[in-house]
Structure 1
Amino acid sequence: MAHAAPTPGGITRGTPGTTRGTPDVFSPQVHRAVRYGLPVVLGLVYGYWAAANRRDGGEITGWNILFGFVTALAFIVLCLAVATFAPLLKRELHSLTKSAFAGAAIGFLYSQTGQSVLRSTVLALAVTAGVFVVFFYRYYTHEDGEGNPLPR
């Protein structure tokens, strides 16, 4: 079966005359809503999960609910801080910041199950190392030497 040959140019995105990437089908309002809404939703799920781990199948108490909301608030604030400031760093520190946040979040959840601090720390470090490899590979293959995005 015959296919059309690729042509120079591409799909226009943003200002007229630019030819990079795929089209952006969402409006800036949708991007803004997701930028702040996603950490809130993830934080609420994380807070519920931490509170459920802590109560270990027992009854729900006021302190348990308070713990869940405080945990959710801390997660939301830290998630927004990482999402805001990590892209300003070089790719190594950018990757390390995001992976450290992921590892610490998983380690904290695991510690709420009653496991030892050592096991929680080992799990957090393992998650941090795995996420670091993935993020570093992604940034290393999508940026030039100075950290600027590669043209598509």
Structure 2
Amino acid sequence: MAHAAPAQGLRTPSARPRTPDVFSARTHRIASWATAVVTGLVYGYWVAANNRSGGPITGWNLLLGFVSALVFAALWTGVHALAPRMRRELHALLWAAFAGCAMGLLYSQSAESVLRSTAMGLAVAAATFLVLFFRYYTHEDAAGHRIR
């Protein structure tokens, strides 16, 4: 049976050129830090808002928000630096633990029980693990090397 010969000029999916990187390494570094700071500030505000439950803003409430923002940004930066060096299972597990703990603290500030906060954190962690494991599993070759 005859087979079609490969045509000239057609590229295989693995031979596609990468999109050009128009930003410098310095811009990427600044964007990485800015993402951590802005996300931390949003998270800290959210924790403080849940804690006060619509009441007046107090000094302790501001302190809780800024400390939460600082810890969140530091952990975000640490996980962002450490996770890509791990295998896909641990990579997904680390992000899932981070997301579950962050959600558990956020939910616990809304005056819910510890068991409910733990259940919400575990649910978010499980969903995060499943989504990220699937993503990392489908973006690696058989040897575990990321396809870029």
Look up the equivalent residue of 2:125 and give its one-letter code.
T
2:93 is the alignment partner of 1:96: yes
User: Structure 1 runs of 4+ off > 6 angstroms?
Assistant: none
Number of the residue aligned with 2:140: 143
Q: Tell me by how many angstroms 1:146 deviates.
A: 3.0
CA distance in 2, matches of 1:63, 1:135: 36
CA distance in 2, matches of 1:65, 1:105: 18
CA distance in 1, matches of 2:128, 2:18: 26
What whole-Å deviation, never above 9, does each CA across 1:74-117 have from its counterpart, x for those lacking one? 00110001001111111000000001101111111000000001
Number of the residue aligned with 2:4: none
2:113 is the alignment partner of 1:116: yes
The count of residues paired between Structure 1 and Structure 2 equals: 140
Number of the residue aligned with 1:35: 32
State the TM-score, normalizing by the size of structure 2.
Answer: 0.87
CA distance in 1, matches of 2:147, 2:17: 10
Distance change >3 Å, CA 66–CA 6, structure 1 → 2: farther
2:5 is the alignment partner of 1:8: no
Give the unaligned 5+ runs of structure 2. Answer: 1-7
CA distance in 2, matches of 1:6, 1:108: 55
CA distance in 1, matches of 2:64, 2:134: 36
Number of the residue aligned with 2:45: 48
Number of the residue aligned with 2:130: 133
Give the unaligned 5+ runs of structure 1. Answer: 11-17
